[in-house]
Amino acid sequence: MGHYVPDWEVTNNDLTDVMETTDEWIRERTGIEARRYGKKFEETTTTMGTEAAKRAIQNAGIQKEDIDFIIFAT
């Protein structure tokens, strides 16, 4: 298995700077404390998926030539 998580993190406290809300209000209703976003124009679902696939291949100890196909969904 492989995964990729973008570096740009937006916390609930970050949202309180631009919205009339609190960390507690968001957390109580959604369970979310922070969310991650790809860098605009640099990280796309394709680039993030590619990085996750590279990590999965490395973790599995196989070569990319050993793979017949990949199913990718967002």
**pLDDT, tens digit, for every residue of 38-65?**
988 889 999 999 999 999 999 999 999 9
Report the predicted TM-score, pTM, of the whole model to 2 decimal places.
0.69
Token readout for 36 is: 């991650």
Q: How large a percentage of the chain has pLDDT more than 90?
A: 81
Cβ atoms within 10 Å, residue 15: 18
Three-state SS at 46: helix
Helices (H), 8-44: 12-16, 23-30
pLDDT of residue 70: 85
Backbone torsions φ then ψ of 59, nearest 5 degrees:
-65, -30
